[in-house]
Structure 1
C-alpha cells in the first residue's frame, strides 16, 4: 500500500531512467491514459525538455502559456499550470519551450531539489488518484526534484545488451535521496519495454533482470508494437489509436498490475 506523503495532490510516481530511448515517455503517456480509462483521476507532469508527453496528449507546446518550467522556477503554482486534456480523467502539467533553461535557473535556487515538493505541499486544488511524472533522461536537478516529490519510482528498462548500464547509478541516487531528502521514497517496480521475445538476447536480458530484481520486476511486459510507435504522431495514447493492439492491451494490463500492487481495486 502507498504511504501518501503528498495527500493534497495524490499518490505520486515518477517514471525515470537516465538512459534515453527506453520507453519512459511512452510509459508515462500510456500508463496515465490506461489508469484514466479505468476511471482514476490522473495528473501527468511533463518535466522532460523534449516535451513528448505533452505533444503525445495532443497539446501544442507553442500554445501553452504556463507549464512545468513556471512551476519549477516558482513563477506559478501547481493549480495554475494544470491543463485538462481531451481524454477523460486525464490532466497534464505541460512542458514548454523554456523548460531546457530550468536546470540553469535551479542551480542557484534555495532548496533547489525541493521546489516541486514545496509546490505539492502548497497545492489546494482537487486531489488526484495518481500523479505521474515523466522525467528527463538524465540524473539532473529536474529528475532530483521529481524523486524528492514522489512516493515511488517506476523504472523503465529496455531489454537490450546495455540494459543494466546506469541502473545501479539510478538506484544509488534513489538510496541517497532516501537518506537525505525523501525518506519515504521507494521503488514501485521495473517495467520491461520494447520486448521482442523472438529475440534470444531480449529473452536472456529479461531472464537476468528478473533473476536479479525478483518481484520488483512487473510481470507485464511492453512489447515492440507498430501501433505503439505510431500513436504519438497522432497526438493520442495507443488506447485511443487502436485499443485492440498488443501495445494498448499491454498498457491496460500494466495499469491493472500497478493498481493491484498498490492495493487499489480496479474500479476504484
Structure 2
C-alpha cells in the first residue's frame, strides 16, 4: 500500500495525553473540508477517534477483528462512513460524494499491543490494506482513498509497530513541555531504528506542537528548544490549546463545524498542516 498513490500516515506519540487523537481528528476534518477521500484507521484500543468521528457501526468488523485474519479481511465492506459527512453536506461544492470512512477501533485490538510480535504479525495491517488496494485496482485505476490516517496508541508496543509497518510516514504529536519534547526525541530515534530493521520506506512526516499556550513563557522556551532540536521537522502552524476540545469531541463534531473564533483558527491551522503533510508526501515520492 505504501508504494501506491495513497498516502498512509501514522499519527504517533510515545507519551500519552498530548492530544494525538485530537490532531488526527483535526486532520480528518481538514481532509473532509478539502474533499480529499480519506480513511481513518482507529488502532488505539480506547477507540476515541471512532467516537469523535461519530461512527455508528452496524455489524461491521472492527480493526482488531480484521487484524486477526488479515488476508481474509474485506476492509472495503467493513469501513463505516463518518457522521461528519452530514455536517459538511450543506457546504459542499463538489459533484462527487464526500468520503471520510472509518475502520472502527475496539479493545479487541489490544491483544496485538505487545512487544514480542513476529515480523509476520507486524505485517497484519499491511495485508489488510493490500487487500483494499487489490480491490480498488479491479474497480478503477484511481484509488478510492487518497489519504489514510492511522491513530496509534501512545506507546511503541505492537500496535504502533504494526501501523508503522503499513505506513510511508509518521506524524509526531508533542506538547511544548520537557517530558513531551524528550519523548519526541526518543520517538524519532525509534522511527530510525525501526526503519532500518523493518520498514526501509518509512520516514518522519514532521512534528506537530499541540496544546500550545502562546502566553506561557515555558511554552515559548520549549518551542524554541524544539525548533533548535528538530529544525524543519517542527511544522507550523502550532495548534493552540483549546479549552472546549473535549466538548467538541464529546459532541462528535468536526472542528470545521464548531462555532467560535478559536475553532475557526484551529480549523485554519489544520488546513495548513494537512497541506504540508500531503505536499511532503508528494515531494518524497518525486524524489
Equivalent in 216, 228, 234 of residue 217 of structure 1: 234
Q: Distance in 2 between matches of 1:108 and 1:193?
A: 31
Structure 2 partner of 1:94: 104
Q: Distance in 1 between matches of 2:128 and 2:3?
A: 10
Contact 1:7 1:127 in 2 (8 A): no
Contact 1:33 1:237 in 2 (8 A): yes
Structure 1 partner of 2:90: none
Q: Distance in 2 between matches of 1:68 and 1:192?
A: 28
Structure 2 partner of 1:69: 64
Equivalent in 154, 175, 179 of residue 137 of structure 1: 154
Equivalent in 96, 112, 125 of residue 116 of structure 1: 125
Cα gap change, 1:180/1:38 in structure 2, threshold over 3 Å: closer, same or farther?
Answer: same
Cα gap change, 1:72/1:257 in structure 2, threshold over 3 Å: closer, same or farther?
Answer: same
Indicate yes or no: 2:21 matched with 1:52.
Answer: no
Contact 1:64 1:94 in 2 (8 A): no
Contact 1:231 1:238 in 2 (8 A): yes
Give unpaired runs (5+ residues) of structure 1.
none
TM-score (norm 1): 0.88
Cα gap change, 1:101/1:25 in structure 2, threshold over 3 Å: closer, same or farther?
Answer: same
Aligned residue runs from structure 1 range 203-242, under 5 A: 203-242=220-259
Q: Distance in 2 between matches of 1:48 and 1:135?
A: 5
Structure 1 partner of 2:15: 19
- Shift, 1:251, TM fit: 1.6
Contact 1:243 1:249 in 2 (8 A): no
- Matched position secondary structure for 1:188: strand
Structure 1 partner of 2:4: 7
Per-residue CA shift, 1:178-224, capped at 9, x if unaligned?
A: 11221110100000000001000000000000111111111110001
Q: Distance in 1 between matches of 2:175 and 2:275?
A: 21
Contact 2:44 2:106 in 1 (8 A): no
Cα gap change, 1:156/1:57 in structure 2, threshold over 3 Å: closer, same or farther?
Answer: same
Q: Distance in 1 between matches of 2:148 and 2:55?
A: 18
- Matched position secondary structure for 1:163: helix
- Shift, 1:109, TM fit: 6.4
> What is the Cα-based RMSD across aligned positions, in Å?
2.3
- Shift, 1:107, TM fit: 5.3
Deviates more, 1:248-257 or 1:89-98: 248-257
- Matched position secondary structure for 1:242: coil
Cα gap change, 1:226/1:167 in structure 2, threshold over 3 Å: closer, same or farther?
Answer: closer
Indicate yes or no: 2:78 matched with 1:84.
Answer: no
TM-score (norm 2): 0.82
- Shift, 1:163, TM fit: 2.0
Give unpaired runs (5+ residues) of structure 2.
86-97, 137-142
Q: Distance in 1 between matches of 2:224 and 2:59?
A: 43
How many aligned positions are there?
Answer: 258
Deviates more, 1:239-248 or 1:216-225: 239-248
Contact 1:73 1:102 in 2 (8 A): no
Which aligned segments of 4 or more residues in structure 1 are displaced greater than 4 angstroms? 106-110
Q: Which has the higher helix share?
A: 2
Cα gap change, 1:36/1:6 in structure 2, threshold over 3 Å: closer, same or farther?
Answer: farther
- Shift, 1:243, TM fit: 6.9
